[in-house]
Amino acid sequence: MVKAALKNPHAVIVLALAILVIGLTAIAKLPTDILPTFKTPAVQIVTFYPGMPAEVMEKDITTRLERWTGQSNGIARQEAKSMVGVSVVKDFFREDIDPNTAMSQVTSLAMSDLFYLPPGTIPPMVMPFDPTATIPLCLVSVSSPQFDENPLKAQARGLLPLDVINAVRDFNVMIPTGTAKFGALDYQINTNGMVPLVAQLNDLPLRVGNGPPTYIRDVAKVEDSHQIQTNIVRVHGKRQVYIPIYRQPGANTIAVVESIKAQLKPILERIKGINLDVVMDQSV
């Protein structure tokens, strides 16, 4: 081979140049990411029942969802975790199973099991699962109606927290409506089963009869407020608010971070008096 190379120096030079060009082209097209690509199809089912103990979540929700979604075609293994008010079930499929097929199967089975879950269970959220997409890339406050109950006032009237929950559920109902046809006209029927303002929930009756009526305002205070704060965030010693930004399964980490940074300036132009800074960058 050495003799052949010495006899054909021009061919060796051309071959070396070809390898160099191909290598540079491959490097330019090579995707850059800090996390590997998770190719195994996996689906995550998250179910909420606020306040339910972890043991009951496992017996009445997690176990049922495992049995139902475990009937999916091509499932390889399952993982599950039960916490207070939260059930998480992960279904991992064989690599030859199409991710869309896995998603549709699990969604259909999880929704079918909703009928057998305890009353009041929030419908399961079914989403693709990628263990490499759980690292936060960026750090927002979320407001929601807050229900502040005073258990001592409720106990003094012989009421339980469940009575308050049942009153809100029974007197603030989303009722499906339709149309009514009278002669040649069709009328759209709207029900007034839900209060238009959050504060009006205070006027819902808890108990009527056997004395003066008891209203929600007598044992609780309903207001449109923030969610109950359970933690404190400090950045450089100052209290601040942040939300973590996660990448979608299969998305490029570096591209996500660069896109976030590019969108900060347009957002600040519309919102005055707010500073948005990337305090953590996983792509560096």
Q: Are residues 157 and 215 in the same domain?
A: yes
Q: Are residues 77 and 127 in the same domain?
A: yes
DSSP, collapsed to helix, strand or coil, labels residue 235 as: strand
Q: Are residues 179 and 215 in the same domain?
A: yes
The C-alpha torsion from 164 through 166 and 167 to 173, rounded to 10°, is 140
Domain range enclosing 274: 135-142+229-284
Please give the pLDDT value at position 192: 77
Tokens 């347009």 — which residue? Answer: 266
Please give the pLDDT value at position 205: 85
Please give the pLDDT value at position 68: 92
* Contact predicate 175/193, CB 8 Å: yes
Q: Are residues 71 and 153 in the same domain?
A: no
Q: Which amino acid is present at 123?
A: P
Number of helices followed by number of strands (H, E) in the chain: 9, 12
Please give the pLDDT value at position 274: 72
The verdict on residue 47 lying in a domain is yes
Q: What is the CATH number of the domain that holds 83?
A: 3.30.70.1430
Q: Are residues 54 and 26 in the same domain?
A: no
The total number of residues shown for the chain amounts to 284
Give the residue ranges of DSSP H helices in 135-252: 151-156, 161-171, 216-219
What is the total count of domains within the chain? 4
Please give the pLDDT value at position 145: 44
Per-residue pLDDT 10s for the chain (284 aa) are 666 666 677 776 777 788 888 777 776 666 665 666 666 788 999 999 988 889 999 999 999 999 999 999 999 999 999 998 999 999 999 988 888 899 999 999 999 888 888 888 889 999 888 776 666 555 443 333 445 556 667 677 777 777 887 887 788 777 767 788 888 888 887 777 788 888 888 888 888 877 788 888 888 888 777 666 777 777 777 777 777 777 776 677 777 778 887 887 887 788 777 777 777 776 66
Please give the pLDDT value at position 142: 33
Give the residue ranges of DSSP H helices in the chain: 2-7, 9-29, 54-57, 63-69, 99-113, 151-156, 161-171, 216-219, 253-270
pTM, full prediction: 0.51
The verdict on residue 37 lying in a domain is no
Q: Are residues 48 and 128 in the same domain?
A: yes
DSSP 8-state class, residue 138: B
Q: What is the CATH number of the domain that holds 203?
A: 3.30.2090.10
CA distances from 47 to 52, 125, 144, 177, 275 (A): 11, 6, 19, 28, 35
Of 192, 206, 200, the closest CA to residue 222 belongs to 200
244, two tokens: 């973590």
How far apart are the C-alpha atoms of 209 and 223, rounded to whole Å? 27
Query: Residue 282 contacts by C-beta under 8 Å, 6 or more apart in sequence?
Result: 34, 135, 136, 137, 253, 257
Q: Are residues 151 and 217 in the same domain?
A: yes
Q: Are residues 240 and 202 in the same domain?
A: no
23, two tokens: 């290598």
The verdict on residue 62 lying in a domain is yes
